[in-house]
């Protein structure tokens, strides 16, 4: 295995799927926090992996894909314990972004995204809590799917923040995304009619100055392609004063659950600087914000469910193209890329609704993506829209 491959793959495998099944011939990779029989769920930390037991069984989502004919090519690197969005792992698993010279892949599903972007496999499983499938999909020019919360089984997956965690998917093509997603979910509810395409103006102000006009130009185009009425939805209609309220509420809820998950990590386990800094944020947070964040989540979920009865929501996934390797400061007050990513990706997590990432634009040859959200359980409608847009674009 060469150096570039070693930054993607934790363990190469040749697990053959069931012959003559619907996904026969399709290969996929698996993030290293999802159980694959005979492998350890190392969670991006070799010291943890060395003491972790070998998994005896596949996670149900992996088993479903194998039974449907897909073959597993291996497990992939990730941000340590899935707590990060940069995809820069200090233990050697910091993959190269083949679509942006010198750019990061994004995380925490970094190896999975890189495996697809580099052409090793057409599809890869990741996990998404605050954008860990969607961010690397955007920065690598991939189609991505964050399912409705609870739709895809999460057993056999190392948790980070269970009320926000999902197993998602990264693919090179929207059609493959739709086919594999249906298997992962065990089928979908029928798609409901949609007549409106909503945009939240405050979230579009989080874009980088050079990315904003490129992505804003797609609003009317996508509404026309999907045959939908373009409508504005202010954050106030969702019970939010501003985008900072969205970010603060999300972090208060996420970090409360992450603190429980990280308690399983021995205090003397060697970890990298990013995880060390993030653990510090969790430990030093103001715990008095949690009750308010829980109330905010209830209001937001109810309001968004009402708005999405007959609508999709279109929004950016990342502020712009992939940043350069090593450019993201550990201090989030000095580097606002990660907070903006978390803000842009918070709605789907808080409300448990599905989101599809669509790589529909470029800036200087680097990919830019938009996210499309639907009401909870309407994953089929989103995936059908993605396939239609891929075909027309």
Report the catalytic residues.
Answer: 31, 108, 132
Phi, psi of 253 (to 5 degrees): -75, -45
Per DSSP, the three-state class of 181 is helix
Strands 196-199 vs 311-316: parallel, antiparallel or unpaired: parallel
Per DSSP, the three-state class of 74 is strand
Q: Tokens standing for 309? A: 């009865």
Rounded CA-CA distance 66/26 in Å is 10
Q: Please, which residues have CB within 8 angstroms of residue 374's CB and are 6 or more apart in sequence? A: 194, 308, 312, 313, 353, 354, 381, 382
Crossing angle (nearest 10°) for helices 60-67 and 174-185: 120
What string of DSSP letters covers 43-66? TT-HHHHHHSPPPSS--HHHHHHH
Rounded CA-CA distance 142/90 in Å is 24
Write out the H or E segment, with its range, that includes residue 211. none
Question: Which of 127, 140, 133 minimizes the C-alpha distance to 43?
Answer: 127
Taking 3-state DSSP, the helix, strand and coil percentages for the chain, each rounded to the nearest 5, stand at 40, 20, 45
Phi, psi of 198 (to 5 degrees): -95, 145
Radius of gyration of the chain (CA): 19
* Contact between residue 35 and residue 57 where contact means Cβ atoms under 8 Å apart: yes
Q: How many CB atoms lie within 10 A of CB 31?
A: 34
């Amino acid at each position: 295995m060469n150096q570039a491959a070693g930054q993607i793959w934790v363990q190469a495998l040749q697990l053959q799927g069931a012959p003559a099944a619907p996904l026969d011939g399709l290969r996929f990779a698996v993030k290293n926090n999802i159980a694959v029989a005979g492998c350890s769920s190392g969670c991006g930390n070799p010291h943890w992996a060395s003491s972790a037991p070998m998994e005896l069984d596949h996670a149900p989502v992996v088993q479903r894909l194998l039974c449907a004919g897909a073959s597993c090519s291996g497990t992939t690197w990730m941000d340590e314990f899935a707590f990060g969005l940069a995809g820069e792992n200090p233990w050697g698993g910091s993959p190269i972004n083949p679509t942006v010279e010198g750019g990061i892949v994004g995380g925490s599903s970094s190896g999975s995204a890189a495996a697809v972007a580099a052409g090793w496999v057409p599809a890869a499983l990741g996990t998404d809590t605050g954008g860990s499938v969607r961010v690397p999909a955007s920065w690598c020019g991939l189609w991505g799917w964050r399912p409705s919360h609870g739709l895809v089984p999460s057993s056999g997956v190392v948790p980070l923040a269970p009320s926000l965690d999902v197993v998602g998917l990264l693919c090179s093509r929207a059609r493959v995304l739709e086919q594999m997603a249906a298997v992962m979910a065990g089928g979908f509810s029928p798609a409901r009619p949609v007549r409106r395409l909503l945009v939240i103006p405050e979230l579009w102000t989080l874009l980088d100055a050079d990315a904003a006009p490129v992505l804003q130009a797609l609003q009317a185009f996508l509404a026309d392609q999907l045959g939908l009425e373009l409508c504005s939805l202010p954050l106030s209609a969702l019970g939010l004063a501003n985008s900072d309220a969205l970010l603060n509420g999300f972090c208060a809820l996420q970090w409360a659950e992450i603190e429980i998950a990280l308690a399983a990590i021995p205090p003397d386990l060697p970890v990298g600087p990013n995880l060390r800094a993030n653990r510090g944020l969790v430990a030093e947070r103001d715990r008095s914000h949690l009750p308010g964040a829980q109330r905010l989540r209830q209001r937001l979920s109810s309001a968004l469910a009402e708005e999405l009865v007959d609508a999709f929501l279109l929004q950016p996934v990342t502020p712009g193209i992939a940043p350069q390797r090593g450019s993201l400061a550990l201090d989030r007050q000095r580097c606002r890329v990660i907070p903006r990513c978390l803000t842009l990706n918070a709605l789907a997590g808080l409300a448990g609704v599905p989101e599809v990432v669509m790589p529909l634009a470029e800036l200087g040859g680097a990919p830019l993506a938009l996210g499309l959200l639907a009401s909870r359980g309407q994953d089929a409608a989103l995936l059908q829209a993605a396939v239609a847009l891929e075909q027309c674009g």
